Amino acid sequence: MILYSDKDDHYSHRVRIVLAEKDIACEIRETNNDDAPEEVLSINPYHELPILVDRDLGLYNTTVMMEYLDERFPHPPLLPVYPVTRANSRTLMLRIDKEICPLVDKLSAKDGTDKELLVAKEELLHEISAIAPTFKEFPFFMSEEFSLADCYLAPILWRLPALGINLPLNRHLKPLLDYQAKIFERPGFQDSLSLIEKDLRD
């Protein structure tokens, strides 16, 4: 099994967290969209990383990758057992992809005018702040156990300072700050970081 992973990309990072949390033997080849071999990029019709190759199987959607890994290596499970809670987790993952990731991508690429990027920062801070109260009720992202939804959220939280967003310490955000500190200390999260990603918070 080989993961062709971008060195500093929150989509690649979420897959690496799953690999680390499950202690899956997988060769991680760090590259980027510009330098990856054409025969690798051709696996994905959109010619983007990450790409997971397992024998004759080539996967390029991170949700499909992560659920495949969770089903093939079921311990520890990263999706809830019950259909309703599993559907809730998938809904959270979809919301992150649709509502938060476009803002992260815009800021990471510096795609826009200074005013547009400032608006994107404000919107991202608003989206992150809106989920803070949920961590009063659950130790993880709307769950009693660490799940794939956490694998989606954690790489984004890790990158916030590099995107120019520093979460203020106040009563509203304290549950979220406690959550991210707990997630960042997990051995699986630490093992998932590339050298470039480690430097994002140094």
* Tens-place pLDDT, residues 150-173: 999 999 999 999 999 999 889 999
* Tens-place pLDDT, residues 124-149: 999 999 999 999 999 999 999 999 99
Give kind and range of the element (H or E) at residue 4: strand 2-6
Domains 2-72 and 83-186 share a fold: no
* pLDDT at site 81: 86
**Distant-in-sequence, close-in-space partners of 66: CB < 8 Å, separation ≥ 6:** 14, 15, 18, 78, 148, 151
Sequence ranges of the domains in the chain: 2-72, 83-186
Return the HEC string of 120-141.
Answer: HHHHHHHHHHHHCCHHHHCCEC
Nearest Cα to 5, choosing from 27, 22, 21, 25?
27
Q: Does 66 have pLDDT greater than 80?
A: yes
Beta carbons within 10 angstroms of residue 2's beta carbon: 14
Q: How far apart are CA 181 and CA 90, in angstroms?
A: 24
Q: Does 180 have pLDDT greater than 90?
A: yes
Q: For the domain bounded by 2-72, which CATH number is listed?
A: 3.40.30.10
Tell me which architecture the domain covering 83-186 has in CATH: Up-down Bundle (1.20)
Average pLDDT of the residues in 69-81: 93
Q: How far apart are CA 55 and CA 60, in angstroms?
A: 14
Q: What is the mean pLDDT of the chain?
A: 94
Nearest Cα to 17, choosing from 58, 60, 76?
76
Average pLDDT of the residues in 93-101: 96
Could you tell me what percent of the chain has a pLDDT over 90? Answer: 85
